[in-house]
Amino acid sequence: MRMKQKGKRSIVIRTMRETDAQAIHTAFADQGWDKSLANLESYYRDQRQGKRFVAVAEVDQQIAGYATLLPEDKNGPFAGKPWPNINDLNVFIRFRGLGVASAIMDRLEAEAAKTSDTLTLGVGLHKGYGPAQQLYVRRGYVFDGSGVWYHNKQLEIGAACQNDDDLILYMSKKLS
């Protein structure tokens, strides 16, 4: 568990607990977003089996966000490479601007550095991902140069796609 102070509020980063899936699901619903409870429950199961690391952020003892770290990416330009991959970073709207995402990233980068000198991620392209795009660039992540991917396939020039959560660019960062 790591703590950071931001003003008078403390940010605690810990691993996922079994009860977190329902709490996270409810927090998404409270802000009008649909997030699969079954998917969140699978994150906890994967963590218990050593297939995924899940960092959960708390602010004032309330879940403020989370992200997962996979041992390697199964899709995109980093597939098959022995580099951990950040997956599904979310900070709930009412906790944004407090440094929660940075605290989560600090924890994931430290965890990834135990096994690798490189960390990867994919980031969406629509405006909802704007804060994440800026965060990653500020933290030293660079685009891999493979262009835009959609539904886990590299898009050819002129290919049709939809500007949704599956339209992404890949990035990586050297940790050492």
| Domain enclosing residue 12, as ranges | 2-174
What was the pLDDT predicted at 3? 54
Cβ neighbors of 83 (< 8 A, separation 6 or more) are 72, 73, 116, 118, 119, 120, 172
CA distance 121 to 131: 15
Tell me which residue has tokens 């965060």. Answer: 135
Each residue's pLDDT tens digit, 101-138? 999 999 999 999 999 999 999 999 999 999 999 999 99
39: domain CATH number is 3.40.630.30
What was the pLDDT predicted at 176? 80
Above 90 in pLDDT, residue 147? yes
Above 60 in pLDDT, residue 2? no
The number of domains in the chain is 1
CA distance 89 to 104: 8
